[in-house]
Amino acid sequence: MNNRLKIGLRPRPKIGLSGVVPEPAAPRPLVSPASRPSVMQAPVLVLNATFEPINVTAVRRALVLMLKGVAQAEETNHHEVHSTSKAIKVPSVIRLLTYRHIPQQSRALSRKNILLRDRNTCQFCAAAFPASELTLDHVMPRSRGGRSSWENLVACCYACNNRKGDRTPEEAGLKLQRRPRPFTLHTSRQLMRLIGHRDEKWRKYLFY
């Protein structure tokens, strides 16, 4: 067997009374429920020092802010994360300990936020779709100077997007369900409500 190993061949399997004896399988590592990515990526409502809701972040970022002494938990859920020395309850709502001035339009323009604003609903046929089956449409086509802005981007299904093509809705015989709104404080609160609609602990801060 040693000669076989020297030239890179696998050793012959052991033969028992009933044939080849299989090698034992490697043990599977244990995964702690608290370490699952879904828990660490769950949404957390962020309040200013004045208890005004200002943002939504992930559990991972919220824990970093708490460990740095920048924020404290106002509401927690039933999950815990464990370090070598202690267990920390996963926050649902955190509050900054120092007041931060937040610009009026602070939410980034992104596909995710446009779909949230439009509630995953095509703004031409009014049908709701999973996010993977929606795209963004420029109401005024980019070829005619249409900008990528809150006021010119809407959620759109692929069928309506293909029908509209490089035309305005009127030219394509389509009608917008509603004009795309600019980003305002009302829009921001609405997005926060949509993100956290399953968490009742958010309600008293967002005035449902």
pLDDT digits (tens, 9 = 90+) for 120-139: 999 999 999 999 999 999 99
CATH number, position 133? 1.10.30.50
In a domain, 61, yes or no: yes
What is the rounded CA–CA span in Å between residue 42 and residue 188? 18
Residue in 106, 76, 79, 103 with CA at minimum distance from that of residue 92: 76
In a domain, 174, yes or no: no
Instruction: Name which residue leads in pLDDT, 14 or 80.
Output: 80
Cα dihedral angle (143, 145, 148, 152), rounded to 10 degrees? -100
Residues 87 and 125 in one domain: no
Q: What's the total number of domains in the chain?
A: 2
Residues 85 and 134 in one domain: no
Enclosing domain of residue 191:
40-106+186-208
What is the rounded CA–CA span in Å between residue 40 and residue 31? 14
In a domain, 88, yes or no: yes
Residues 101 and 120 in one domain: no
Residues 138 and 47 in one domain: no
pTM of the model: 0.59
* pLDDT digit string, tens, across residues 40-98: 989 999 999 999 998 899 999 999 999 999 999 999 988 888 877 788 899 999 999 99
Query: What is the mean pLDDT of the segment spanning 105-118?
Result: 82
Residue in 131, 92, 90, 97 with CA at minimum distance from that of residue 114: 131
Asked if 124 and 175 touch (Cβ cutoff 8 Å), the reply is yes
